[in-house]
Amino acid sequence: MESYILLHNNFYKHCKPLISSVKKLLEKIHIPIVRTESLALDEKFLPFITPVEYFKPLILLLDKAQQDGHKVLVCDSQSLLVITRLLKNLYENTELREELAKACAIDILNLENSFVFAPEVLVDRIPLDAIKHRRWEGFKCAFIIDRELEERIRELQILPRIESFTGLKILPFFKESYAYLLQSNPKLAYKMGAMDYYEMVDCGVDFIITANLGNFELMDKHIKDLQDVSGRDTAEIPLLFMPQVILALFMDSNAESLEFNAHKIKPQML
């Protein structure tokens, strides 16, 4: 059985409870995690530090996992984008590839099979007998997904597969995340975030799913700012991290174990 090293993107400190839900779900469905590694992954760092300094810890993690016979399990889309953009850049940018290869002392072109996106593993490992008594039948949700991942998500049929075992009706929204603007231009971040949030809300959804930690930071932790900039009524549609939605299907899950109290917009479904 494949074993994994869980990658925890700790860039957004408020999102720690979301990572907790990932660990609980992985334990519940018996996916072996050797250890958890934490890195702060957000490309807003790049103007301030050299690419070698920024990417070296990530490359060494991927290489060490591969050398030890594991894969890095990437549980958020922001980290996935950092990794996939890095690998693309390494193929196209000879100078960067040589600099990183020298700094890390490894063949970095062998890393493309060293990681996997968690939803691609989870959808095949859910024990259907364990969740048959609690499904999201009758619920409609929006799933906000990074536009850059649209082809990957559609090709792997991730959303139809989630719908089939959850009972959810999922409306996909492929959009950029504007969380990267929170430090440099927060007013613009609130404006763009509000446009996306209320576009989904106006579709009559019961909740919103995201796999991007930045989206949760922007649309939950800063929801009051989004309300103020848009002039809309009090926001009541919560954001859930995808593992929370799946974990909620198990009969022993409740609002406390799912850490709904960590949300600014408290989910009321359980």
Q: What is this structure's pTM? A: 0.92
pLDDT in tens, 23-41: 999 999 999 999 999 898 8
pLDDT average, residue stretch 79-102: 89
| Percentage of the chain exceeding pLDDT 90 | 65
Report the alpha-carbon distance of residue 240 to residue 209 in Å, rounded. 5
Q: Establish how many alpha carbons lie within 13 A of residue 138's alpha carbon, considering only the half-sphere containing its beta carbon.
A: 2
Check residue 45 and give its pLDDT.
57
| Percentage of the chain exceeding pLDDT 70 | 97
Q: Would the CA dihedral through 199, 195, 8, 66 be positive or negative?
A: positive
Amino acid identity, position 13 = K
Check residue 41 and give its pLDDT.
86
pLDDT in tens, 104-151: 887 777 788 899 999 999 888 888 888 878 889 999 999 999 999 999
Where are the chain's structural domains?
4-119, 128-262
Given CATH 3.30.230.80, say whether it is the number of domain 128-262: no
Which CATH architecture group holds 4-119? Up-down Bundle (1.20)
Check residue 100 and give its pLDDT.
87
pLDDT in tens, 143-177: 999 999 999 999 999 999 999 999 999 999 999 99
pLDDT in tens, 235-270: 899 999 999 999 999 998 999 999 999 999 999 876
Picking from 163, 151, 82, 89, the residue whose alpha carbon sits closest to that of residue 115 is 82
pLDDT in tens, 184-203: 899 999 999 999 999 999 99
pLDDT average, residue stretch 5-24: 86
Q: Would the CA dihedral through 72, 75, 76, 77 be positive or negative?
A: positive
Pairing verdict, β 71-74 and 115-117: parallel
